[in-house]
Amino acid sequence: MTQAAVNAACEQLRADKQNVTVNAVITICGGYFSTVGAMVKAWKEEQAAHVAPLLQMWDSVKPHLWYYSDYD
């Protein structure tokens, strides 16, 4: 079992709008719960790292949007 295989399974589940769970990934590519669990956790942490900057950007832009929404 490789991280790349688990990542592909996680992406497939996400594309199919299914929950990314250890059991769902095991159904797709096999493996042991403890091994796949650590890899799914690593994938989720990687995804969270990509989302955090977007949320931070929103906080910096939001006050400016309110200013322009009141503009007539």
Q: Going residue by residue through the chain, which has 72 residues, state the pLDDT in tens, using 9 for 90 and above.
A: 999 999 999 999 999 999 999 999 999 999 999 999 999 999 999 998 776 665 666 666 666 666 555 555
**6: closest CA among 29, 24, 27, 23?**
29
Cα separation, 41 vs 54, whole angstroms: 21
Q: What is the pLDDT of residue 43?
A: 97
- pLDDT at residue 38, as a whole number: 98
CA 26, CA 28: separation in Å to the nearest integer?
A: 5
Q: How far is it, in rounded angstroms, from Cα 67 to Cα 29?
A: 50
What local confidence, expressed as pLDDT, does residue 50 receive?
73
**60 within 8 A of 53, measured Cβ to Cβ:** no
Residue-wise pLDDT for 30-48, tens only, equals 999 999 999 999 999 999 8
What is residue 71's DSSP assignment? -
Count of the separate structural domains present in the chain: 1
Q: Which domain holds residue 28?
A: 3-69
